[in-house]
Chain A
Amino acid sequence: MSSTETQPEDTPIDHRTDLLRQMLRIRRFEERCAELYSASKIRGFLHLYVGEEAVAVGVTHALSEDDALVSTYRDHGHALARGVPMDAVMAEMYGKATGCSRGRGGSMHLFDVRRRFYGGNAIVAGGLPLSVGLALGDVMSGRRRVSACFFGDGAVAEGEFHECLNLAALWQLPVLFCCENNLYAMGTALNQAQAVTDLALRASSYGLTSWPVDGMDVIAVAEAAQRAVEGVRAGAGPCFLELRTYRFRAHSMYDPDRYRDKEEIERWKQRDPIDGLAADLRAHGELTDDELSGIEEGIKKELDQAVAMAETAPVEPVEDLTRFVYAERPR
């Protein structure tokens, strides 16, 4: 059990530019979603991940295709980083039949079973037990796979969190717990909800390896996740990463965000994971302005196409409204 920050020098991460591209891709996707929401193209609830992209990109970088991932309702970044195609995610945002959940999930319930992306989950802490069960299944069938799950600092208050950490540690299950600590659960600050706000320390009390990571630094996240995944895959038991991050936007599109001061938000924006990495790459001569605009252009093209496809895609026919509640006999 350790509680020390990872050293960025530990393991060199290749493809730094690709990590930047992935973060930018999530950022631009969500900015577009916000516009589409204001235009009532996307309806329901919309929780943006802006500011937290380094977490999804860094963690998924360390996972292999075989590993499972369980998400939260703030799941666009997780899904895109996991490789769920952007057009399928956008169509899902629109509620269209071509969406990754056939339009039934919407923003909060993105699913892609083929990619072992076991879904967004609107229930806070609802995903943790699923990841523990997936891991238990792997152990029982002798597969060396990792089950990772994301959840927020808010989930730490729910009973399921504690049940899951205990069981995973007790049975030494291959779970990677990824706590996205953005300091707020909706309008409630972490220090208003937890007596012990050092969540990595908290997790370690259950008898599992845990450490805090700078969640605004994608390289730090990728390295920490890589180290954690290696241990979990090798059978060293579960691991807990407290990814210290911040959401730049309100909790959801409804939230007036009146519980944080603007200065705090501005301070965190200075640590924007995208700006930070881009500046670093530039300083090291690894990225030119032309390359960056090339990346932006590529993303814009992909995004325009995803939106165009979502616009014209059909809604599930009303005759199918009552399907899939129970198993269907072959038709």
Chain B
Amino acid sequence: MAATSMAQALNAALRDALSENERVLVFGEDVGQLGGVFRITDGLTAQFGEQRCFDTPLAEAGIVGYAVGLAMGGFLPVVEMQFDAFAYPAFEQIASHVAKIRNRTRGALSIPMVIRVPYAGGIGGVEHHCDSSEVYYVATPGLKVVTPATPADAYTLLRAAIDDPDPVVFMEPKKLYWSKEDTELRYDSEPLGRAAIRRSGKDATLIAYGPSVPVAMQAAKVAAEDGLDLEVVDLRSLVPFDDETVTASVRRTGRCVVVQEAQGFAGFGAEVAARVQERCFHSLSAPVIRVGGFDIPYPPPMLEHSHLPGVDRVLDAVDRLQFSDEPDGRYLTGVRA
């Protein structure tokens, strides 16, 4: 088995989808010869030709809109937005058309397309280049929203997104592009919508997705040294949401912390917390606690470590799960605003 990075896994997923189905098309800004800003489309034009992987002019609304037309015409477009914030010019097409056409035509038309969005921070970027924009998409019925946390999942989920009959916003945590894993890339046509238990534990459940999964895993490791056994659930798919896995886990552990990198107010974690308390109320021994970024535009490199929820802030939240009536302050080590 070879060590594969998430970027390589995504590239392989596009390559394999292009090989297996001639209706798959890849396009966007600089995805051809340059291979994309993050090189996710590297070599695809060389291998499949400009009919299958091509550059478009710099106009995001157009890129997404053309994909809608192509999808209506029987193609399977996979378009790239260069960064989170550069998808905003396309939001009009996404919210008004991509998400609505199936419903508007009462199922006569499907829009099987994928919009790839590199998102979130941790790479020393600034605003526009590190936004956690998932909440805009999850709040738009008609869109599926998926985000991998490992190279193996990046491959599987992108393949499944391309195969999916609905439009999928595929959110790539850019700080994990270079993270590696010894894995075989495999896709067995499993549909989207299943969370994964990354680590089993009995004392509390950490629910995370995308860039916050490694943070939750690290927190669980540190907590284990202190005798706390934390379970980590990686959502993978935000829409559809895997209530079953989440509910079963929290009912088992009785305590829950939701970890997201995005700003906290009305973030996706709020939806998770609401669902958990609706379904697990009688199993809960403590309120569901959210850990997230602050409610600010993404800060510059010198300050991003203070903004991003790290292991300390997660452990701080775990500490508030009322394991005993006396807070023991074991994990009260984090930076607090």
Binding site for B on A (CB under 8 A): 43-45, 94-96, 103-106, 108-109, 122-124, 154-155, 157-159, 185-188, 192-194, 254-255, 258-259, 315-316, 318-319, 321-322, 325
| Chain A neighbourhood of B37, CB < 8 A | 186, 254
| Chain A neighbourhood of B89, CB < 8 A | 123, 158-159
Contact present for A318 and B335 (CB under 8 Å): yes
Contact present for A186 and B303 (CB under 8 Å): no
Contact present for A321 and B34 (CB under 8 Å): no
Give B22-37 as 1s and 0s: 1 = Cβ < 8 Å from A's Cβ atoms.
0000000110111001
Q: Which of B125, B296, B300, B307 meets A103, CB within 8 Å?
A: B300
| Chain A neighbourhood of B297, CB < 8 A | 325
Q: Which of B86, B294, B295 meets A123, CB within 8 Å?
A: B86
Tell me which of B57-65, B101-109, B242-250 binds A. B57-65
> Is B301 close to A, CB under 8 A?
yes
Contact present for B59 and A105 (CB under 8 Å): no
Contact present for B300 and A318 (CB under 8 Å): no
B30 (CB) vs chain A CBs: closest residue: A187
Assembly CA distance A2 to B126 (angstroms): 41
Contact present for A45 and B129 (CB under 8 Å): yes
Contact present for A185 and B300 (CB under 8 Å): no
Contact present for A187 and B299 (CB under 8 Å): no
Contact present for A321 and B85 (CB under 8 Å): no
Q: Please give me the 10 A-B residue pairs with the lowest Cβ-Cβ distance, nearest first.
A: A187-B34, A157-B57, A43-B301, A95-B302, A187-B30, A193-B57, A122-B128, A157-B58, A154-B58, A43-B124
Ordered by A's residue number, 17 sampled pairs between the chains whose C-beta atoms are within 8 Å are A45-B126, A94-B302, A103-B300, A105-B300, A123-B89, A155-B58, A157-B58, A186-B29, A186-B30, A188-B29, A188-B55, A188-B58, A315-B302, A316-B302, A316-B303, A321-B299, A321-B337
Assembly CA distance A297 to B30 (angstroms): 41
Contact present for B85 and A122 (CB under 8 Å): yes
Given contacts A103-B300, A158-B58, 5 further A-B contacts (CB under 8 A): A43-B124, A104-B299, A109-B126, A123-B85, A188-B58
Contact present for A319 and B299 (CB under 8 Å): no
Assembly CA distance A20 to B117 (angstroms): 43
Known contacts A188-B30, A325-B296, A123 near B337 by CB under 8 Å: no
> Is B306 close to A, CB under 8 A?
yes
| Chain A neighbourhood of B296, CB < 8 A | 321-322, 325
How far does the Cβ of B84 sit from chain A's closest Cβ, in whole Å? 11
Assembly CA distance A45 to B130 (angstroms): 12
Contact present for B126 and A108 (CB under 8 Å): yes
Assembly CA distance A45 to B29 (angstroms): 18
| Chain A neighbourhood of B306, CB < 8 A | 318, 321
Binding site for A on B (CB under 8 A): 29-30, 32-34, 37, 55, 57-59, 61-62, 85-86, 88-89, 124-129, 294-297, 299-303, 306-307, 335, 337
How far does the Cβ of A326 sit from chain B's closest Cβ, in whole Å? 10
Contact present for A322 and B126 (CB under 8 Å): no
Q: Which of B55, B61, B125, B337 meets A192, CB within 8 Å?
A: B55
Assembly CA distance A316 to B337 (angstroms): 14
How far does the Cβ of B300 sit from chain A's closest Cβ, in whole Å? 5
| Chain A neighbourhood of B129, CB < 8 A | 44-45, 122
Contact present for B300 and A95 (CB under 8 Å): yes
A255 (CB) vs chain B CBs: closest residue: B34
Q: Which of B32, B124, B294 meets A321, CB within 8 Å?
A: B294
How far does the Cβ of B94 sit from chain A's closest Cβ, in whole Å? 15
| Chain A neighbourhood of B34, CB < 8 A | 186-188, 255, 258-259
Max count, chain A CB within 10 A of own CB: residue among B37, B300, B337: B300
Known contacts A106-B300, A322-B337, A44 near B58 by CB under 8 Å: no
| Chain B neighbourhood of A154, CB < 8 A | 58
